[in-house]
Amino acid sequence: MDTTFSMKQRTRVGTWNVLTLAQQGKLAQLAKEAARLNLEILGLSEVRWPNFGEHKLHTRQVLLYSGIRGENAPRQRGVGFLLSPQAHAALIRWEPISERVIVARFRTRVRNLTIVQCYAPTDIADLQEKENFYSELSSAVEKIPKGDIQIHIGDFNAKIGSDNTDLESVMGRHGLGEMSENGELFVEFCGNNEMVIGGSLFPHRPVHKVTWVSRDGRTENQIDHICISRKWRRSLLDVRNKRSADIASDHHLLVAEIRLRVARVNRQGEKVGRRFNVRRLENPSVKRAFVDELQSKAEEIPVEGTVEEQWSAIKNAYIATSESTLRELRSRRKEWILDETWLEIEERRLRKPKLSVQGPDRPRKEPVDVTLS
């Protein structure tokens, strides 16, 4: 079965606050824009369809939606995904959490991928409403299989700014404006879930970072975001808005380009584990000295403190005692290279210059005297 994401080709994922899909013709217009821009998965905010369901279009694109539940539910909020035929074929399952959160899981050629589309309360919303949203979102994320690649997208109504001091693992320096209260909640959520905010990583012009414009055109903000698991950061090639896309919304379409890359393990500068000569413990006097010194250092470990602090103190006590009594192993030779082998290698090296190039058993050829007449 065909899968959308691979290590050889780029896949486009977008998120868009469409204001509403309840108006006639809006869904058809949305589907046309998604196909024109080659979007495989498009997350949607403010769908404004009640309840939840799956709707297939004549273009073979599929709309998954999650709205307010109830027989006479109001047409407010609502989230969804518009999937290309290929993305729908790769869909494993999806879950309509609420009118603010929807989750979909896909197959890829590397490992499974889970995308979460969100629509967060605005900055002026009640604090309790914001806390309820992030509590609901966190509960949904906790259910995602640990091995999945995660992408969180949507209208988070969060300004993150460009100051990433002490937040380097969560965001870059290319955000827009200054961080808002919603931005603080959003950044904290990303940090707790090891996510990186894509729109802050790439040095685009401000006009390509804006995701919302006020009706009078005087205020511009970056409040829609695309995030990816930190260990899969290298798979995110670009994030920027697409101002050419139009669906009569005050939000710009935000698009990410993704090509899956297996995360590299960077061992440069990594501290190598230390090895101590534990065979010295076979000596009774060394063993007695080790035990006495360790007991002395254990008495200095504070009873109060966090588990991490106590564990660090215990580890340091063992290391210090081992350094003074056992000594560190210095040998860097591989155990499978024996001493006899090293002697033979050295002997061969010394004999090599004395060997004739022609070998010991081959007769030397006499030079031919050639006289020119």
Mean pLDDT, rounded, for 280-296 = 85
What is residue 108's three-state secondary structure? strand
pLDDT at 40: 97
Kindly report the backbone phi and psi dihedral angles of residue 280, in degrees, each rounded to the nearest multiple of 5, phi listed first: -65, -20
Question: Considering only CA atoms, which of 73, 76, 88 is closest in space to residue 39?
Answer: 88
With tokens 């504070």, the residue in question is: 302
| 129 Cβ neighbours under 8 A, 6+ residues apart | 121
pLDDT at 365: 47
pLDDT digits (tens, 9 = 90+) for 302-316: 666 677 777 877 888
Question: Considering only CA atoms, which of 118, 58, 66 is closest in space to residue 94?
Answer: 66
Find out whether 148 and 164 touch, Cβ atoms under 8 Å: no
pLDDT at 1: 40
Beta bridge partners of 102: 96, 117
Domain boundaries, the chain: 11-258, 278-325
pLDDT at 334: 47
Find out whether 140 and 101 touch, Cβ atoms under 8 Å: yes
CATH architecture of 11-258: 4-Layer Sandwich (3.60)
Mean pLDDT, rounded, for 362-370 = 48
